[in-house]
Amino acid sequence: MRSNDMNQTLVNLFFILASAACIFPFLLLFIASFSSEQSILTKGYSLFPSEWSLEAYRYLWRNVDAIGRSYGITVLITAVGTTVGLFISALLAYPLSRTDMPLKNTLSFIVFFTMLFNGGLVPTYLIYTEVFHIKNTLWALIVPGLLTNGFFILLIRTFFRNSIPKEVIESAYIDGAAEFKIFFRIVMPLSLPILATIGLMLGIAYWNDWFNGLIYITDSKLYSLQNLLNRMLQNIQFLQQTNLGGRAEGATSLPTNAVRMAMAVIGIVPILLIYPFFQKFFVKGLTIGAVKG
Amino acid sequence: MAHTWRKVWKTFWRYKALFLMLLPGMVYLFINNYMPMFGLTIAFKDINYAKGIWRSDWIGLKNFEFLFMTKDAWRITRNTILYNAVFIVLNTVTAIGVAILLNEVRKKFLARFYQSVLLLPYLISMVIVGYLVLALLNLENGFMNKVILPAFGIDPISWYTKPEYWPYILTIVSLWKNIGYLCIIYLAAIVGIDPEYYEAATIDGATKWQQIRSITVPLLMPTIIILTLLAIGRIFYADFGLFYQVPLNSGPLQPTTDVIDTYVYRGLITLGDIGMSSAAGFYQSLVGFVLVLVSNLLVRLKDKDQALF
């Protein structure tokens, strides 16, 4: 018994250290964003700045147009992309889950083959830009690569197969209901768990996406939040040159270091906020995903 | 003949609603996945935007000759494979260890708390990770150069211009980011182990360590093997975000941070060299496909349900 308590203490100690190591970078980020530029230049990014300041956030507030705009774009593409993607995925998964569906094996193969083989960046890019001309449009942030994929469809199909009793569908048939009606009135309401899980995964993917914006968008008016963050990270001059399209700032008074940290903070805050509420879903979704994959 | 066609049509008509439902998704998969697959042929063409993709000339293996004549091909292949190999081994071993330990925590709400914290890095974007690393490794202001190194009496290091540190840096970042996710998977497997085994072992006087070695690990083996095989199948694909964002796309670091994915990206977007990048992309898709097939076949031999197909 005594060694058991000792074990518990050790295990918990390990996790406290591990958790601290995980959280530490975030803490540094937060505190640095509330440090004065002066403190950063002398003491560096530190957990104990010599001087606290809201200057970085005031700067962001002065440029709320550009930042707000990119926030808006991110919210828009996340909302649209997640809803449409979820819809398309479920619509595609449903016929594949029906045992009486003709050609379902061939069709399933066509869907799942995409998980094995990939054309790669070059053909995808050239097709989207030269054939569909989506460069610098909102489509570029919603459609390429994110809308749906074989993996999600597989998960939804499995759920339909295992959790929607055939009898329910059959009795609806007997009652004379049409396919679409069965789908929307019966199957969808029964599928809320999987829809929530996939919806969450889609939502995070869209919120965090920076890649599409990186290769398809050069117009700064269409930057998503992550793209804006990306430009600022890669190019410290970006802030000084573009001034986020806002008022002129003296080069010396520009709190570039603190501002970058502040930008990153507002980039993660939404995820941090919803995390406690959806934590169980996250874990559940990842477990299902993993077990199947 | 007419009879069977009529039957086909009748079946199709009967299920027309279901076929209609397939349409949006299938169209998307066609555009997003299948058209680019056919577009792999671009690697065999000399793309001329004036003529358009479809009418550009075929030049056979010229692009590939060009690509493999450079030292780049070897370097990016080596980097991609080595990094992925290290990631697979290190991340797997650590994740299993953490999962086992997590299972030992008696207070379940504490266990959930730890799990949540460990999962957090997985949920943020690589861009943010780039910022976090910047806060640590920035030359003038970074936590390492301003606080940690001085504590050991070491001079500041210009992290972003010294390629030799980055295999370690990127490995640590990969571990930090993925440990939470992997741990969840292995924990799910561990929880599935029948507690009777442990009870019997405790009665027989086995220590915790012995129990882990003789019960937990062997029973986890199927999961480990499958996940590892699937990861090996993807060994030719690197996490573009990790290798592009975290090193801040810094040129001097390329010897140790350039992987196939970043090479293709740079060739296409930055340099506009469609020939090289499409050849490299084709190379990756082909080898990657073969590896995925082989590894899936092996998984299938081991446990039919776990394979992707």
pLDDT at A252 over 50: no
Do the chains contact at B39 and A279, CB–CB below 8 Å?
no
Q: Can you give the residue range of the structural domain that contains B198? A: 62-306
CB–CB of B189/B220 below 8 Å? yes
Asked whether residue B130 is assigned to any structural domain, the reply reads: yes
Asked whether residue A50 is assigned to any structural domain, the reply reads: no
pTM (2 d.p.): 0.88
CA-nearest residue to B113 within chain A is: A19
Residue with tokens 């949006």: B24
Do the chains contact at A116 and B308, CB–CB below 8 Å?
yes
The residue among A96, A98, A116 whose CA lies nearest residue A108 is: A96
Q: Is B81 exposed, middle or buried (0-12, 13-18, 19+ CB in 10 A)?
A: middle
A104 in reach of chain B (CB within 8 A): no
CB–CB of A208/A226 below 8 Å? yes
- Structure tokens of A93? 């998964």
Q: Of A46, A91, A144, which has the smallest distance from its Cβ to B143's Cβ? A: A46
How many CB pairs below 8 Å do chains A and B form together? 278
How far is B252 from B162, CA to CA, in rounded Å? 7
Name the amino acid, one letter, at A193: P
Amino acid A292: pLDDT: 52
Asked whether residue B183 is assigned to any structural domain, the reply reads: yes
How far is B267 from B276, CA to CA, in rounded Å? 7
**Total domains, chain A:** 1
The residue among A77, A95, A204 whose CA lies nearest residue A156 is: A95
A17 in reach of chain B (CB within 8 A): no
- Contacts with B290 from chain A: Cβ below 8 Å: none
The mean pLDDT of B229-249, rounded to a whole number, is 90
CB–CB of B238/B261 below 8 Å? yes
Q: Of A116, A215, A287, which has the smallest distance from its Cβ to B188's Cβ? A: A287
Do the chains contact at A124 and B293, CB–CB below 8 Å?
no
Mean pLDDT of chain B: 88
Asked whether residue B99 is assigned to any structural domain, the reply reads: yes
Q: At what angle do helices B62-69 and B72-104 cross, to 10 degrees?
A: 70
- Structure tokens of B242? 């990790």
**Total domains, chain B:** 1
Asked whether residue B31 is assigned to any structural domain, the reply reads: no
How far is A288 from A154, CA to CA, in rounded Å? 11
Asked whether residue B7 is assigned to any structural domain, the reply reads: no
How far is B18 from A156, CA to CA, in rounded Å? 16
Q: What is the CATH number of the domain that holds A97?
A: 1.10.3720.10
Report percent pLDDT > 70 for chain B: 97
How far is B280 from B264, CA to CA, in rounded Å? 6
For residue B302, give the 3-state DSSP assignment.
helix
Asked whether residue B1 is assigned to any structural domain, the reply reads: no
How far is A168 from B236, CA to CA, in rounded Å? 45
Helix (H) or strand (E) holding B45: strand B45-46
- Structure tokens of A283? 């874990």
B285-303 confidence digits (pLDDT tens): 999 999 988 888 888 887 6
pLDDT at A178 over 60: yes
Q: Is B121 exposed, middle or buried (0-12, 13-18, 19+ CB in 10 A)?
A: buried
How far is A284 from A279, CA to CA, in rounded Å? 9
CA dihedral A176, A181, A185, A190 (to 10 degrees): 90
How far is A73 from B236, CA to CA, in rounded Å? 33
A55-67 confidence digits (pLDDT tens): 888 888 888 888 8
Asked whether residue A251 is assigned to any structural domain, the reply reads: no
A104-154 confidence digits (pLDDT tens): 999 999 998 998 888 889 999 999 998 899 999 999 999 998 888 888 999
Selected residue of A7, A24, A121 to mutate for chain B interface (largest B Cβ count, 10 A):
A121
Q: Is A42 exposed, middle or buried (0-12, 13-18, 19+ CB in 10 A)?
A: middle
pLDDT at A256 over 90: no
A234 in reach of chain B (CB within 8 A): yes
Q: Can you give the residue range of the structural domain that contains A215? A: 64-246
Asked whether residue B262 is assigned to any structural domain, the reply reads: yes
Asked whether residue B252 is assigned to any structural domain, the reply reads: yes
Asked whether residue A174 is assigned to any structural domain, the reply reads: yes
Amino acid A254: pLDDT: 60
- Contacts with B131 from chain A: Cβ below 8 Å: 29, 229, 233, 260-261, 263-264
pLDDT band at A293 (very low <50, low <70, confident <90, very high): very low
Q: What is the CATH number of the domain that holds B165?
A: 1.10.3720.10
pLDDT band at B148 (very low <50, low <70, confident <90, very high): confident
Asked whether residue A193 is assigned to any structural domain, the reply reads: yes
CB–CB of B282/B40 below 8 Å? yes
